[in-house]
Amino acid sequence: MDLLNKKFLLTPGPVPVPPRALLAMARPVIHHRLPEFSAILKRIREDLKYLFQTREEVLFFASSGTGAMEACVANLFSPGEEVIVVRGGKFGERWGELAEIYGLKPVYIDVPWGEAVEVETVAEVLKAHPEARGLLIQAHETSTGVKHPVEQIAPLTRERETLLVVDAISALGVYPLPFDELGIDAMVAGSQKSLALPPGLSFVALSARARKRAEETSGPRYYFDFRREFKALEKETTAFTPAVSLLYGLSEVLSRIREVGLERLFAHYRLLAGACRAGIKTLGLELFAKEPCEALTIVKVPEGVDGAKLMKLMREKYRVTMAGGQAKLKGKVVRIAHLGYQSELDVILALATLEMALSELGYQITLGAGVSAAQKYFLEAQR
């Protein structure tokens, strides 16, 4: 280990993992068919309900969040059925790609990157396509930083036989998305975001009518089979070999979330995001998302600055890894995540690194201005 080269991870997945979770995952592995594992599984199942704010069962798979997205498409719809897809970023596009691969007929609502879908537009498309079996949307589009108005869209799908399927991979645990209260039918998440764990676990909460739909659809499925998983849970086990060590960590993190409470957790993310944006605005830089989420702050790379060089400089010289843009945003934005095991000082670190790197690349900036604004934001929030 090079003691002079400490590295910092500020990407929207993977994220920093707390020591308590790391220690839990270092425990000896037990066999997953033993009563000892069933006891751990029972606690996890109850704590997942608390996190998702639901009375329904939450399934999990040994996969990234994309696996849970695919599971929803495979289980909830049959080939040839029509689904509406909100496409306003890289992950909205992924819903569409999955729908097409599984032989569905996606109807796209294309939204400019950086903007949230309009509720009125969704209502019009639902009315124009009464046979649509599903509406697939991101709660928060991680590639653009945009928060879509899921809480306003949800009532629209309750009026018809259209399942609302929400990608909350980087939104769950960051801001309120009460599954039962909103009437969401399927909501997916991943371990490498607000759960502050390594990648490798995905989750799906299902409403009663989504469970019923999964029993009726005709598409092929094997590993990602909701029916098989529900039967296994009835026996207090899993259908296939689970990621035992990750589940040790999950049990620890979920226990900690209960200790902290969801409201405090949501307030924590609001605080970090608010301070970071105060710093960015003070520096004269521009935010990318018009309706930003608390999970990360996306900053436009200033005119005249090479985005690729900026990212490389922060990563290699200052050893702070943030995320760049994806697809059409490559080299155009910097994505500063607030997810995982982070505190106020991580925001200060991110702003200081960005200031130094921009200055080194010749961009005229007042060193310390963004940091100072964030510090003031934090101090005022404590009063």
- Does residue 155 register a pLDDT over 90? yes
pLDDT grade, residue 5 (50/70/90)?
confident
The runs of H, that is alpha helices, within 175-304 are 179-182, 208-216, 226-234, 244-260, 262-282
Mean pLDDT of the 299-309 span: 97
- Contact call for residues 114 and 287 (beta carbons, < 8 A): no
pLDDT in tens, 32-54: 999 999 999 999 999 999 999 99
Query: In the prediction, which pLDDT does 259 show?
Result: 96
> In this structure, are strands 186-190 and 296-300 parallel, antiparallel, or unpaired?
unpaired
23: Cβ contacts below 8 Å, ≥ 6 apart? none
pLDDT grade, residue 275 (50/70/90)?
very high
Query: In the prediction, which pLDDT does 9 show?
Result: 97
pLDDT in tens, 53-105: 999 999 999 999 999 999 999 999 999 999 999 999 999 999 999 999 999 99
- Contact call for residues 90 and 65 (beta carbons, < 8 A): no
User: What are the b/e assignments for 126-142, b being 16+ CB within 10 Å?
Assistant: beebeebbbbbbbbbbb
Mean pLDDT of the 229-244 span: 96
- Alpha-carbon distance of 333 to 354, in angstroms, equals 12
pLDDT in tens, 179-223: 999 999 999 999 999 999 999 999 999 999 999 999 999 999 999
CA angle 337, 341, 345 (to 5 degrees): 70
Q: CB 180: neighbour CB atoms within 10 A?
A: 14
Give whole-number Cα distances, 102 to 105, 344, 352, 369, in Å: 9, 44, 46, 51
Token duo for residue 271: 């605080």
pLDDT in tens, 211-221: 999 999 999 99
Token duo for residue 38: 């069933």
Query: In the prediction, which pLDDT does 2 show?
Result: 65
> pTM value?
0.96
Domains observed in the chain: 8-15+262-381 (3.90.1150.10), 19-260 (3.40.640.10)
* SS3 at position 368: coil
- Does residue 3 register a pLDDT over 70? no
- Does residue 1 register a pLDDT over 60? no
Radius of gyration, alpha carbons of the chain: 21
Percent of the residues in the chain that have a pLDDT greater than 70, as a whole number: 99
The runs of H, that is alpha helices, within the chain are 19-25, 35-52, 65-76, 90-101, 119-128, 150-158, 179-182, 208-216, 226-234, 244-260, 262-282, 307-316, 344-360, 369-381
Give whole-number Cα distances, 234 to 215, 224, 229, 246, in Å: 16, 17, 9, 22
